[in-house]
Amino acid sequence: MSSQKVYDVPPPPDFRSHTVALFLAQMDDQSRRLAEDTRGMSADELAWQSLPGMNSIGMLLAHIAVVEVSWTRLVLEDRPMPVDVSDVLGVGREATGMPLAPDAGPPASLAGKDLAFFDDLLAKARAHLARIASALADRDLERAVVRPRPGGGEGTVTVRWTLYHLLEHLAGHYGQVLLLRHQYRATHAG
């Protein structure tokens, strides 16, 4: 008799909103998969660029953490711009090196950093998000925050969209990490 695998993304306990808990469960599952797929990476692989001016895996991992804390602060906590993330992460937005100049190498701030460093950034960011998000009620999902846009004007975002954005941001960069890992292995084979 064969056992059947059950696929599910159960929400974490102790959240006021089931919907918010589901967003966090989805993010936690993507983060678990990302962690599995990055095991064994050396500091050299984390800092490798396919070409000058291109993101490294380490840059992407740091960026995921910085964005998670930034959007949590900007919308879920409704803090004014600019937000500081260094008190949560121990590094600021500038540590990611993004965006790089077209001919630039990876940022010196991430040079020699091992996988444990990036795992720690991601864990701190998620713990911060979970702490803030667990207190949100369903009615909070509708709350809208107006922020200036980088190119001018204003943009309005809801808490619900922000949680969605954090999920899709993580998933998009996770795909980039997988591609860069494939490229690194292909260029460093043998």
Look up residue 6 and give its DSSP letter: P
Q: Which residues contact 39 (CB under 8 A, 6 or more apart)?
A: 115
Tell me the residue range of the domain where 64 lies: 43-187
Confidence grade of residue 2 (pLDDT, cut at 50, 70, 90):
confident
Whether 15 is in a domain gets the answer no
What is the average pLDDT score of the chain? 95
Token pair in block for residue 104: 């630039």
Helix axes 115-133, 18-38, angle to 10 degrees: 180
- What CATH code is carried by the domain that includes residue 54? 1.20.120.450
Count of domains forming the chain: 1
User: How far apart are alpha carbons 55 and 46 in whole angstroms?
Assistant: 10
What integer pLDDT is reported at residue 151 of this predicted model? Answer: 87
157 lies in a domain? Answer: yes
pLDDT at res. 3: 87
d(CA 43, CA 119): 13
- Cβ proximity of 167 and 30 under 8 Å: yes
Nearest to 118 by CA among 19, 15, 39, 2: 39
Region 33-55 average pLDDT: 97
Q: Is residue 35 part of a domain?
A: no
Q: Which of 122, 124, 127 is nearest to 177 (CA)?
A: 122
Express each pLDDT in 93-147 by its tens digit. 999 999 999 999 999 999 999 999 999 999 999 999 999 999 999 999 999 999 8
Predicted pLDDT of residue 1? 63
For residue 23, pLDDT over 80 is answered with yes
Which residue carries 């291109």 as its tokens?
A: 54
In a domain, 85, yes or no: yes
Q: Is residue 96 part of a domain?
A: yes
How confident is the model at residue 189, as a pLDDT? 84
Q: Tens digits of per-residue pLDDT, 137-161?
A: 999 999 999 988 888 999 999 999 9
3-state helix, strand, coil in the chain (%, to 5): 60, 5, 35
Q: Is residue 70 part of a domain?
A: yes
State pTM to two decimals: 0.95
* Residue 169: DSSP 8-state: H
Any domain includes 16: no
User: Predicted confidence band at 179 (pLDDT cuts at 50, 70, 90)?
Assistant: very high
Q: Is the peptide bond before 150 cis (omega within 30 degrees of 0)?
A: no
Q: What is the arithmetic mean of pLDDT over 24-47?
A: 98
Flag whether 88 is in a domain: yes
Q: Output the pLDDT for position 130.
A: 98
Closest CA to 144 of 132, 129, 161, 131: 161
